[in-house]
């Protein structure tokens, strides 16, 4: 079985995006290069940012048809993150609301990538 261990987002400005995610994650990146930044987590996941102006960058795609999601165990954590991110000036695309799967909201990063915070219902 293959287990995903890397999320890679294409960004215009890795430095700007790294500062944004460093605030969200409350942790510094593990690697910082001129066109690539990586955050490493205890669960084995690496979250990376790759510059669209990097020498070998090639992508025929466009748009943001996916989300990074943080499933948290309690509604109160969703509310607290929503308020903290709002106060930090993070752009909120969808307000705090109940969805079919539980309490949720959606923010966006500087490049428009969607970031969902939710708690599973039940």
Asked if residue 97 has pLDDT above 90, the reply is yes
Which residue ranges make up each domain of the chain? 6-51, 67-118
- pLDDT for 1 equals 83
- pLDDT for 55 equals 84
CATH class of 6-51: alpha beta
- pLDDT for 100 equals 86
CA dist 116 and 46 (Å) reads 18
- Chain segment 44-70, per-residue pLDDT in tens: 999 999 998 888 877 776 666 688 999
Average pLDDT, the chain: 91
Question: Strand, helix or coil at 49?
Answer: strand
Contact 6, 48 (CB under 8 A): yes
Name the pTM for this structure.
0.86
Greatest alpha-carbon span in the chain: 47
CA dist 57 and 51 (Å) reads 8
Least confident segment among 23-27, 58-62, 70-74, 90-94: 58-62
Question: Strand, helix or coil at 111?
Answer: coil
CATH architecture of the domain with residue range 67-118:
Roll (3.10)
């Amino acid at each position: 079985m293959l287990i995903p261990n890397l999320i890679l987002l294409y960004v215009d400005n890795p430095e700007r995006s790294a500062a944004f995610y460093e605030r969200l994650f409350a942790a510094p990146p593990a690697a910082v290069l001129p066109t690539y930044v990586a955050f490493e987590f205890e669960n084995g996941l690496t979250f990376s940012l790759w510059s669209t102006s990097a020498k070998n960058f090639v992508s025929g795609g466009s748009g943001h048809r996916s989300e990074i999601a943080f499933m948290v165990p309690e509604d109160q954590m969703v509310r607290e993150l929503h308020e903290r991110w709002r106060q930090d000036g993070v752009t909120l695309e969808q307000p705090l609301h109940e969805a079919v799967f539980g309490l949720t909201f959606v923010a966006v990063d500087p490049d428009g990538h969607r970031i969902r915070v939710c708690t599973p219902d039940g």
